[in-house]
Amino acid sequence: MSLINLVEFNSLGDERGQLVALEELRNIPFAIKRVYYLVDTKSDVARGFHAHHDLEQVAVCVSGKCRMILDDGQHREEVWLDSPCKGLRIGKLIWREMHDFSADCVLLVLASEYYQEADYIRDYGDFLRLKANAGNP
């Protein structure tokens, strides 16, 4: 099964431009406790490099694009987030990296939990050990 689980958002655009609506438990598959966004990320900077114990997220580039890598400890897959209508679901215990941010990139992330540093797994070796102990995948 692919790690790349995309959600297509309808654009309610008309001649005035595009409008995209995100609604919890409708086109966002969880109750939204937190929204954050990454802006002004330098093109030679990569971010992420962590997984979460218990967090669901949907990421969407509302402007510009970036390359997202997902890794479940056995497989790595990548996808370009390059449309305000293309959301990427990221489940728990998935390592993620973001690369190649365009200058105009605004990466919006919807999250199922409040920020909690204890939920992060920031060491790739720890992540692999955890996945192995949990019976990968």
List of residues contacting ligand TYD (CB under 6 A): 34, 36, 38, 47-48, 50, 115
**50 catalytic per annotation:** yes
**Catalytic member of 50, 52, 75, 99:** 50
Q: In the complex with ligand TYD, which residue's Cβ is closer, 34 or 67? A: 34
**Size of the chain in residues:** 137
Q: How far, in Å, CA of 124 to CA of 88, rounded?
A: 21
Q: How far, in Å, CA of 38 to CA of 72, rounded?
A: 23
Q: How far, in Å, CA of 110 to CA of 119, rounded?
A: 16
Distances (CA, A) of 82 to 7, 43, 71: 13, 15, 20
CB of 63 to ligand TYD, least distance (A): 17
| 47 DSSP 8-state letter | E
32 touches 110 (CB < 8 A): yes
CB of 127 to ligand TYD, least distance (A): 14
Q: In the complex with ligand TYD, which residue's Cβ is closer, 48 or 87? A: 48
CB of 90 to ligand TYD, least distance (A): 11
Active site (catalytic) residues: 50
